[in-house]
Amino acid sequence: MKMTGAIRQQLNAFMEGFYDIIPKKLISIFNEQELELLISGLPTIDIEDLKGNTEYHKYQQNSLQVSL
């Protein structure tokens, strides 16, 4: 727990902000895998799904900025 002690102040600030967004009692209904999925999303990205659900504003699908 040496590392946790070294960053306790930062960790407490993070947790306070996190619980401001999602109340602690709501977090407790998820296990760690479910919470990771909610925060990080799926581990793989379906490019076709992304393309099919993307709305372009001031750009088009073939714009250089989009194709990079």
pTM given for the model:
0.49
**What mean pLDDT do residues 21-45 have?**
90
Contact call for residues 62 and 56 (beta carbons, < 8 A): no
Residue 55's pLDDT band (cuts 50, 70, 90): very high
Give me the pLDDT at residue 5, please. 81
Question: From CA 49, how far away is CA 47, in angstroms rounded?
Answer: 5
Q: Percent of the chain beyond pLDDT 70?
A: 94
**What mean pLDDT do residues 16-36 have?**
92
| pLDDT, averaged across the chain | 88
